[in-house]
Amino acid sequence: MSAVPVSVRDATGPTVTVPRWWRGLSWRALVGAGGVAAFLVAAVLAGAVSPYSPDALAIGSRLEGPSAAHLLGTDQLGRDVLTRILYGLRPSLESGFAAIMMAAVVGVALGLPSGYFGSLVDTVVTRVLDLLVAWPAVFLALAIVLLLGTGELQVIVAIGLAEVPVFSRLVRSIAMVAARSDHVVAARAAGASSLRIMLRHVLPFVVTPLVVQFAIAAPQALVAEASLNYLGLGTHPPAPSLGAMVSEGQSFLAYAAGPIVFPILVIVALVVSLTLLADGLQDRLDPRSRIGAR
Amino acid sequence: MAAGTETVLDVENLRVSSGARGERRVLVRGVSLTVGRRRTVALVGESGSGKTLTGLALMGLTPAGTAVAAERLLVGGVDLTRMSEPEFARVRGRRIAMVFQNPMEALNPVLRVGHQFSQVLTRNLGVSRSDARDRARELLDSVGVSDARRRLGQYPFEMSGGMLQRMMIALALAAEPDLLVADEPTTALDTTLQAQVMALLAERREDVGMGMVLVSHDLGLVAEYADEVNVMYAGRVVERAPTREMFASPVHPYTLALLRTVREIASPGTDRLSSIPGSPPPLDDPGSGCAFAPRCSFATAECTAVVPELKGVAEGHDVACVRSER
């Protein structure tokens, strides 16, 4: 079941419940959380940290290497690479988060009734999602962009849609088990409606695995976001994004590696941080892996 | 049934089946029951005899993928066979309620007990939240739970099984239903608690004025607390009689064998309990003829040829066995 709060009770007083969930977080979770937090702060404070504008052209100082003035050098238009990375983090983090949020919400909305009711509802939902999974994610994204045009919102919808089946299946599998549990049958015997049972008696058991899945999907969404931007389907130039920086820098790789290497390093570091965080969270929150560790 | 008692449950030919149309497997094969107000009717049988499924079918709570059919399913005079699921949900907990086998699992482990009480009470009694709190305390008093205020603030895992079963009974009877289905209500409890919980059920039955269907494999319990006993085997009732008569003069070979497995009832002088050789057939495939024939020491060729029907052998005493027909 879900993480049981540690209950501390003295002989006379009322029960005191202390959620000490952070106890026992592994070094991976802490390092990952630290990394993610650092990138978040950097993205939020981009304007305050950097003296340059991300779009400020400086034709005189194109494709420069790292220097005191430009810590990570400049790109083919003389724009400061570090500044563009800081600003470029924003769309990555925003659309990554929004996409998974969308996937989680839609996944719960589909998976909960699918697992709880079974039969026809389940068949319809499962087949539709199978149809979605059958398409490679990139084709799916291209199709969506073709239909809706390029832009940040389209990227969110494309990634979110690609992640929906994973969330829905997870929620479905838990709802299937919960729907057969004694307390759900008892709640039905007491006259509770299906909607109420799903929200009150099934959803609480979905929350913990959902948090873990959220963390697992985050690095995937981030890579997907960067890929779509690399393909030019996301932010419109000159707005910076990590993926777009890689694709723009490609043509000038022979003259300067900085504009392409640094964004890639940032993507890698961010993905590694998120993965470590997901790993640590899973260890902490998934009771099965916890029992194994003891 | 004694004259003058109002009927609260009237089921005729209840059938439960599972699987798709082409490969339907019948699990409960035509059970008929009548329960009067303030009466307890027991369903007994081995595991897999269909007694629990019958209880769940009365509640409309059979597992997904099963279908329930009946000529008649009247609870308090209301026909449940024609109800849609939302309509049925409004009947559950109000006219017909259920107490389950394992009280530790029957409450939501992540919500405080008081919260679950107030959910049920506001829904089934139509009272406000603050009234529900007062009502919850009264209900806990009625089932002998002391310190109600503190108990309501606790989570299920903080309480013992006996305590939780008392709470489940209080919750089930909150709306004073016409019928209570008690599915092995004491099986998961310590032996010392069984008598207490059964006495509580009997007492509340009188106060609320409901009828009770007691599903149990415990013949001692049934002998003490039921007015009528239905012995089930492979999805059918094979013998039905008033409790006293059933234990005094059982007729069906299965009933005889079942009674011999109980120490107090086994004939004096025997120091060993007998067992019934073999095991019951799968619910969906009872074989041809009488389902008990393969394990029956009296079986003849006739037994595997026809399925015996329930026939009266005495006042209120029906048996489904070819031997009793002669």
Rg of chain A over all Cα atoms, to the nearest angstrom: 23
Question: Where does the pLDDT of residue B83 fall: very low under 50, low under 70, confident under 90, or very high at 90 and above?
Answer: confident
Instruction: Say yes or no to pLDDT of B187 above 90.
Output: no
Entry pTM: 0.79
Instruction: Say yes or no to pLDDT of B3 above 60.
Output: no
Mean pLDDT (whole number) for B206-231: 92
If you search the block for the tokens 């299946």, which residue do you land on?
A169
First to last CA, chain B: 26
pLDDT at residue B287, as a whole number: 79
- Minimal C-alpha gap between A20 and chain B (Å): 16
Tokens matching residue A20: 């000490």
B180 → chain A, closest CA residue: A189
Rg of chain B over all Cα atoms, to the nearest angstrom: 20
pLDDT at residue A266, as a whole number: 93
Tokens matching residue A264: 């890639």
Angle at A254 between CA A251 and CA A258, to 5 degrees: 85
pLDDT at residue B144, as a whole number: 86
- Any CB–CB contact under 8 A between A15 and chain B? yes
- Any CB–CB contact under 8 A between B153 and chain A? yes
DSSP B94-134: TTEEEE-S-HHHHS-TTS-HHHHHHHHHHHHH---HHHHHH
Residue contact A119–B64, C-beta within 8 A? yes
- Any CB–CB contact under 8 A between B108 and chain A? yes
- The letter for the amino acid at B170 is A
Q: Judge contact between A9 and A16, C-beta under 8 A.
A: yes
Tokens matching residue A149: 């045009």
Residue contact B64–A179, C-beta within 8 A? yes
- Any CB–CB contact under 8 A between B210 and chain A? no
Q: Is B78 exposed, middle or buried (0-12, 13-18, 19+ CB in 10 A)?
A: middle
B75: closest CA among B57, B49, B63? B57
Q: What is the DSSP letter of A78?
A: -
Bigger pLDDT: B54 or A17?
B54
Per-residue pLDDT of chain A (294 residues; tens, 9 = 90+): 445 455 444 445 445 554 555 566 778 888 999 999 999 999 888 878 777 888 877 777 777 778 877 788 888 787 888 889 999 898 889 999 999 999 999 999 999 999 999 888 999 999 999 988 888 877 887 788 888 888 888 889 999 998 999 999 999 999 999 988 889 999 999 988 889 999 999 999 999 889 889 888 999 999 988 988 888 888 887 788 888 888 888 888 888 888 888 999 999 999 999 999 988 888 877 656 554 443
Mean pLDDT (whole number) for B8-29: 86
- The letter for the amino acid at A273 is S
- Any CB–CB contact under 8 A between A251 and chain B? no
- Any CB–CB contact under 8 A between A182 and chain B? yes
If you search the block for the tokens 């393909």, which residue do you land on?
A231
Angle at B180 between CA B179 and CA B181, to 5 degrees: 120
d(CA A90, CA A240): 9
Q: Judge contact between A248 and A114, C-beta under 8 A.
A: no
Cα–Cα separations (whole angstroms), residue A284 to A97, A167, A177, B75:
22, 20, 22, 49
pLDDT at residue A286, as a whole number: 67
Strand duo B40-44 + B211-216: pairing: parallel
Instruction: Say yes or no to pLDDT of B166 above 50.
Output: yes
Set of chain B residues whose Cβ sits within 8 Å of the Cβ of A177: none
pLDDT at residue B299, as a whole number: 85
Instruction: Say yes or no to pLDDT of B38 above 90.
Output: yes
Set of chain A residues whose Cβ sits within 8 Å of the Cβ of B120: 190-192
Q: How far is CA A251 from the centre of its chain?
A: 30
The ipTM estimated for the assembled molecules is 0.83
First to last CA, chain A: 17
Bigger pLDDT: A139 or B134?
B134
Residue contact B85–A190, C-beta within 8 A? no
Set of chain A residues whose Cβ sits within 8 Å of the Cβ of B61: 185, 188-189
Cis amide bond preceding B242, omega within 30: no
Residue contact B150–A117, C-beta within 8 A? no
d(CA A91, CA A183): 44
Set of chain A residues whose Cβ sits within 8 Å of the Cβ of B110: 1-2, 204-205
- Minimal C-alpha gap between B192 and chain A (Å): 24
- Any CB–CB contact under 8 A between A186 and chain B? yes
Instruction: Say yes or no to pLDDT of B325 above 80.
Output: no
pLDDT at residue A21, as a whole number: 57
Angle at A285 between CA B109 and CA A266, to 5 degrees: 150
Chain A contacts in chain B segment 25-64 (CB below 8 A)? 59, 61, 63-64
- Any CB–CB contact under 8 A between A179 and chain B? yes
Residue contact B64–A118, C-beta within 8 A? yes
- Minimal C-alpha gap between B42 and chain A (Å): 20
Set of chain B residues whose Cβ sits within 8 Å of the Cβ of A121: none
Q: Judge contact between B213 and B9, C-beta under 8 A.
A: yes
- The letter for the amino acid at B9 is L
- Residues 6 or more apart whose CB falls under 8 angstroms from that of B77 comprise none
Set of chain B residues whose Cβ sits within 8 Å of the Cβ of A204: 108, 110-111
Q: Judge contact between A139 and A233, C-beta under 8 A.
A: no
Mean pLDDT (whole number) for B103-131: 91
- Minimal C-alpha gap between A179 and chain B (Å): 9
Residue contact A183–B63, C-beta within 8 A? no
Dihedral (CA of B262, B267, B269, B274) sign? negative
User: Chains A and B: how many Cβ contacts under 8 Å?
Assistant: 81
Alpha-helical regions (H) of chain B: 51-59, 85-91, 103-106, 113-125, 129-142, 148-152, 161-172, 191-208, 219-225, 243-248, 253-260
Instruction: Say yes or no to pLDDT of B26 above 50.
Output: yes
**How many Cα atoms occupy the beta-carbon half-sphere of A101 within 13 Å?**
7
- Minimal C-alpha gap between B141 and chain A (Å): 20
If you search the block for the tokens 């199978």, which residue do you land on?
A130
Residue B147 region, left (φ>0) first, then alpha (ψ -120 to 50), else beta?
left
d(CA B283, CA A104): 42
Question: Where does the pLDDT of residue B267 fall: very low under 50, low under 70, confident under 90, or very high at 90 and above?
Answer: low
How many contiguous H segments (helices) and E segments (strands) does chain A have? 12, 2
